[in-house]
Amino acid sequence: MRNTVRTTRRPLSRTSRAFALGLSATLAAGLLAACSSDDDDGSGGDGDQLTLRVGVFGQFGFQEAGLYDEYMELHPEIKIEQDSTTENGDYITALRTHLSQNAGLDDIQAIEIGNIAEMTHDLPDAWVDFNEYDVDTSHFMPFKVDQATDADGRLIALGTDIGPTGICYRTDYFEQAGLPTDPEAVGELFSSWDSYLAAGEEFKENAPDGVTWMDAAGGMFNAVVSGYEERYTNAAGEEVYENSEAVQTAWDYAVQAAQGDLTDDVQQFTDPWNAAMTNGAFATLAACPAWMLGYIASTAGEDQQGLWNIAASPAPSNWGGSFIGVPEASDHHDEAVALAQWLTAPEQQAKLFTERGSYPSSAEAQQAPEVLNATNPYFGDAPIGQFFSEAAAQIPSSPIGPNDQIIQETFTNQALLSIEQNGTDPDDAWDDALSSLENALAE
């Protein structure tokens, strides 16, 4: 057997040897080429057309609302391509890496509000300063401009949407529990956080089976803390969460809700929370920003159409929203800035609202008739345009720090949740949160 193999195997001829060598060289070269650059296009484009790439997360809305097409029609020399990452968590991780290496960046990159402070604090130089260009920022709400301005006064991003808050509630449950259902009357019922919790106690008496007053103590915490100007970080950039009045007050209210059995003991934005919403396990959402309406509609589904409504919050605040910026690494600053400016201009923001429900950060867009007169059929034709413009006017301009998100999530997803789920003593939970934060934020 061995012998047959041996004799049939001929030594390689010179040509086949050369061929083999060439083949392996080609393969190796191809492999190396595949590893190295695929970012050599950038300028790309067919003929005179210039390609601008826009990097976003989730369903950002620009493309869905047809804004790119509109811009390309106005500017035939520009071609827009979008890179979208589903989860902001994945998106921001990649964006950080790209920014630190100054490579792989698009001409425009979206930034979620939870990450904007990190950009203004840690990576301001990676972004183009919009103040150096002739960009009109007067139409934005002032706090939106402040949040994207770094310590040296450079404006590194332009605002897209914001999330002014109200309180969402289930009218059918309110009716069953003998509470008013009309938004006006409910708004009066919610004149302060104390009265909101008092209404919860009243609700509990006659609540339908298995329905709690609100979803989570964390939601209560966020709703209260966001109404304050100074939350986790003060204007000087120091972390003040240990002693800030906002955190202390929010903590007390949230603990009261957790211990008063007013919550469903679920963590927000997890599957159990989604399931609870789908199954109608809670009656209110203490902080219900504009974008939440779409979230509720898609999670709760058709069955709950018309059952929800929204009432004024005792302390309206901002939750969420995004920005777009132009990385320094882009080869087309002028064109990218022009596009960013156009995308965030009042007309486009208004369109983004009517098409996608993202509430404009531009004060001018908020007053546009199509925004102001908007209603929401899912929420019983609530006049949400009017409602959110009133809420937006009361949003405090809060300084935000790069660690705000970590701090907030430690309080909501750890400390408060452990009071709800494990019956941890609030004082212990508070100490645990502080030591956890001390560890997390240490250099």
In the complex, which residues of this chain contact other proteins (CB under 8 A)?
2, 5-7, 11, 89, 93, 96-97, 99-101, 118, 122-123, 265-267, 269-272, 275-276, 279, 281, 406, 409, 413-415, 417-418, 420-422, 424, 432, 435-436, 439-443
For other proteins, give the closer residue by CB, 7 or 37: 7
Burial annotation 55-83 (CB, 10 A radius, 16+ → b, else e): bbbeebbbbebebbeebeeebeebbbbee
d(CA 159, CA 170): 32
For other proteins, give the closer residue by CB, 234 or 274: 274
For other proteins, give the closer residue by CB, 176 or 436: 436
Token readout for 202 is 């009243």
Minimum gap (Å) between residue 122 Cβ and other proteins: 4
SS (H, E, C) 154-196: CECCEEEEEEEEEEEEEHHHHHHCCCCCCHHHHHHHCCCHHHH
Residues 6+ apart with CB under 8 A from 376: 293, 382, 384
Please identify which residue in the block is written with the tokens 């939106």. 144
For other proteins, give the closer residue by CB, 335 or 420: 420
For other proteins, give the closer residue by CB, 191 or 270: 270
Minimum gap (Å) between residue 256 Cβ and other proteins: 18
Minimum gap (Å) between residue 19 Cβ and other proteins: 16
For other proteins, give the closer residue by CB, 118 or 161: 118
Contact between 115 and 90 under an 8 Å Cβ cutoff? The reply is: no
For other proteins, give the closer residue by CB, 3 or 243: 3
d(CA 403, CA 413): 15
Torsion, Cα of 51, 54, 60, 64 (10° steps): 0
Contact between 234 and 397 under an 8 Å Cβ cutoff? The reply is: no
Minimum gap (Å) between residue 418 Cβ and other proteins: 4
Minimum gap (Å) between residue 112 Cβ and other proteins: 15
For residue 346, report the phi and psi dihedrals to the nearest 5 degrees. -50, -45
